[in-house]
Amino acid sequence: MVRQTGYYHLLKPDDAVPCAQSAVKGFAKTAMRYEHAKALVFLAMGLAQLDQLSDAETTAVTSRQMFEAERNAYWISVVDFCLAYVRMANGDVAKARLLAAQAKLQFQNLEIKGGMAESLTRLGSMTPESTG
């Protein structure tokens, strides 16, 4: 997971997607639903960056459903940012704004410290700025 996260930061989805696909396959065979759901959202992010938007959306929705079952507000919000990106890329500006606003509000309700909060705030501001 660390390697694929690095690839996303370096904007190398071609390298990240195979790592994420491998993680998804591996975690799907275990009882580690949280890790499986995280691998799915990382895969969705990579697919979105590769403009495989339909696959990205399907993968993100599956991940979101798993996080909903776990009641994990943090990761639901991360997935919502990913879905906002996909919606924006598909031209559905209204849905993208709604998802980004929803995720940003959810993050504001969480107690997140340090650089993580700054990164998430920056991520949350990207979609509304690009839709204006």
Residues 60-98 have pLDDT tens digits of: 999 999 999 999 988 998 899 889 999 999 999 899 888
3-state secondary structure of 88: helix
pLDDT at 127 over 90: no
Provide long-range contacts, Cβ within 8 A and 24+ apart, for 3-11: 4/42, 4/46, 5/42, 7/46, 8/42, 8/45, 8/46, 8/49, 11/49
CB 109 within 8 A of CB 73: yes
More confident residue, 19 or 56: 56
Amino acid 10: pLDDT: 46
Q: How confident is residue 11, by pLDDT bands cut at 50, 70 and 90?
A: low
Domains and CATH numbers, the chain: 2-131 (1.25.40.10)
pLDDT at 124 over 70: no
> What average pLDDT does the segment 110-114 reach?
64
34: left (phi over 0), alpha (psi -120 to 50) or beta: alpha
The one-letter code for the residue type at 116 is: M
pLDDT at 3 over 90: no
More confident residue, 119 or 101: 101
- Tell me how many degrees the CA angle 124-68-62 measures, rounded to the nearest 5: 85
